[in-house]
Amino acid sequence: MQFSRSHLAIALGSSGLLVLVFLGYLYWLSSQGPVLARSNERDTLTQMPVSITMNPFRDRTIERTANSFIAAMRDGNCRQLLAVWEKDYRRKRADFLCNSEAQHPLISWNLVDWEDAPPLVILHYKGQRYSTPSQDATYKDLFQSPKRRKIPVGQLPSTTRSIKLGVGIPGAFCLSPMSAFPTTSD
The arithmetic mean of pLDDT across residues 64-90, rounded, is: 84
Q: CB of 52 within 8 A of CB of 37?
A: yes
pLDDT of residue 103: 84
Cα separation, 99 vs 102, in Å, equals: 5
Q: Where are the domains of the chain?
A: 1-31, 59-164
Closest CA to 96 of 107, 111, 108, 85: 85
Beta strands in 22-98 (DSSP E): 35-38, 52-54
- For residues 183 and 58, the model is more confident at 58
89 or 22: which carries more pLDDT confidence? 22
Out of 64-68, 104-108, 157-161, pick the least confident.
157-161
| Whole-number pLDDT of residue 43 | 82
Q: Which amino acid is at 12?
A: L
User: What is the distance between the alpha carbons of residues 77 and 71, in angstroms, rounded to a whole number?
Assistant: 9
Task: Give yes or no for residue 29 having a pLDDT over 60.
Answer: yes
pLDDT in tens, 5-21: 899 999 999 999 999 99
pLDDT the model gives residue 168? 30
Mean pLDDT of the chain: 74
Look at the domain 59-164 and name its fold.
Answer: Nuclear Transport Factor 2; Chain: A, (3.10.450)
pLDDT tens track for 101-157: 888 888 888 888 888 888 888 888 888 888 776 777 777 766 665 555 544 444 433
Query: Hey, which of 21-25, 65-69, 75-79 has the most confident mean pLDDT?
Result: 21-25
User: Taking the complete model, does pTM exceed 0.85, yes or no?
Assistant: no
What's residue 22's pLDDT? 96
